[in-house]
Structure 1
Amino acid sequence: MSDEIKISVRSLYKIFGDDPQGALELVRAGMGKAELQAETGQVLGLNDINIDMPNGKTTVIMGLSGSGKSTLIRHLNRLIEPTAGKVHVNGDNILDYSEGRLRKLRQNEMSMVFQKFALLPHRTVLENAGMSWAIEGKSRRKYASEATKWLNRVGLEGQGEQYPVQLSGGMQQRVGIARALTSNSDIMLMDEAFSALDPLIRTDMQDLMLELQKELAKTVVFITHDLDEALKLADHLVILKDGFVVQQGEPQDILLNPNDPYIEAFVSDINRARVLRVRSVMDETRQVPDDIVGEVDFDDTLETVIAVSKGDTTNNYRVMHDGQQVGVLHMRDLVRALVPRRPGEETGNIR
């Protein structure tokens, strides 16, 4: 997967109300969301958002209800127009696009998977999956093979002639994903796509997402309010509060080094052993100490290592990646990483 930036958001503001430009000056002068609404009646949706979203990776945007997640993702395909700022896709500012160019972006370059599925009830599963082709005027005969391929890929073999009402919630969401994949767009926007699903189905959908992403390397922007889901799916994690970015970066780094009490509260109850990876707590070295007792993979979870070590905190392991040693894991560092950091406390050698 490339580190090239696919989507770049710069100085993005959104204010809802009858005088957004007037309110914008107050926000730029430092007025926050609650104060702005109390004094002017305007609602601050996004406040100076700056994010780079890497090509071929999953950027997860999370926060509590009202933090601006859905507002932000809808700026990426201009379902919502900004008050100020820029949104670059493949280097082009989409705010400069004509209506025709914008339709092309939505139809061919950027697909969207919705929380409530957004399937057409009078069309079959196959026809829903092939919707992007149908919008372009292509016949069912032309898109049937491609749509069937992706329906099969997401586990809906033989369901093409069914109607959405005949499917479970999880199956309907799979149709939405198949529809996005059939469009063959490089970018997939997923707005709380799994939030309406039962826990077991939701876990299945997350696993499917990881499997597909490993194979296809799409640029995915995924919205959620669930930190466990965010940490599971994200290559790049962005946490919003009241319309602004509190912290963003590699999920492991945010978990180990929260920069704000708001983030510390978010991560305090996480099962760190299940989420943290060996690569985040190892010492980077190619030297082999004398007291090594075995090898672990740099992407193993700490939970896996604890099981291997049988809880022995005196063990040290070579950390391997692609057959080469990239570090050494000391179990004392692993244990230290399991303890949430208190506000203002340094993390020591833990990265």
Structure 2
Amino acid sequence: MSQLSHLQMLRGLAASLVVVDHVMINIVDAGGLSRDALPYAFFTGMMGVVIFFVISGFLMVRTTTSVVGGPATALDFAWRRFLRIVPLYYIATLSKVFTAGLKGQFWPPVEIAKSLLFIPYLTPGETEMRPIVGQGWTLNYEMFFYALFALTLLLPRAWSVKALIAVMVGLVAAGSLLSPLMANLPPQTALEFWTNPVLLFFVSGMVIGMAETRFGPWSSGRFALPLSVGLVALAVVLFKVGGVSFPIPLGWQAIFGALAIASVLFCIINRAPADNWVTKVLVASGSASFSTYLFHTRVLSVGYRAWDLLPEALRSPAPFIIVVVIAANLFGYLIYRLVELPIDNLLRRTVGRRKVKTQLVEAPSTP
């Protein structure tokens, strides 16, 4: 995956967009920004998540291109995906449960079980389906996608990806009968969750992967990451000047989705290596993006208290957001080096001892 260093940088950017979303919400809660800033926070985080989903769809196709379908391949794929996601997510979830328990706060056992099993649920009084680690809702989609992908690996390889695309498009079509696509409202049931239009972003990534398999690998393109950042910035500008608000109209959803997909495509086309310290730092941020994504809320809690301690004259949202994003990435990289990577290396050796012999190539950490 070293050839896709720009894609790895984009993963770091996507994680940072989610951090920006959450730190802006914290500043609004602290009175540092008006509530008019909330739609921009939500939109920024949404773009980050969409980029993650497109990348995930692409990588799953790219890393399984040369494998032979069958039960052994499907089992190995599922096993590797399980080991890649579950250990760190369980650490994040159970540590939060333990910390809350020390403060006398407890989750119902059924919510803990559903969070650990990636089953979406709606907590009474809430409007969105969130697990205990709130940002883990995206992993519920990821694990659902991986489960479907593993099942299609049982089919002949010439049909597996095409079959999965058909299934996922069919799920979204069925879901439109439950909740109109143009409504863009948060799902309220597991059925609505698993038929949500966000599945189409995985599909778009798979389509790019199929195109690369047939017509690639592509090796042209320059300034991929700046172009990708520019597309995300353009989406934010259009969100503002277009007077867009939540729920986002269907036409605008298509435009913003296309910009996110194009940002991923730019970084796939560019195969230039990370040959200077700036790009190497950005690649490291992408490598640690899963840890940053899962654990950045720890940094936000410290940042929230720091904001309260700052003199009024120093409470400037923009510099504060930049500092928190940098701190979240540094903390994420620390978790990556000290926790995620050692666990991953240990489990890779475990997988290596398995009797299953496939040609699967391990994808970078998710999301």
- With normalisation by structure 1, the TM-score equals 0.26
Higher relative contact order (CA 8 A, sep 6+): 2
More strand by share: 1
Is the radius of gyration larger for structure 1 or structure 2? 1
Q: TM-score, normalised by structure 2?
A: 0.25
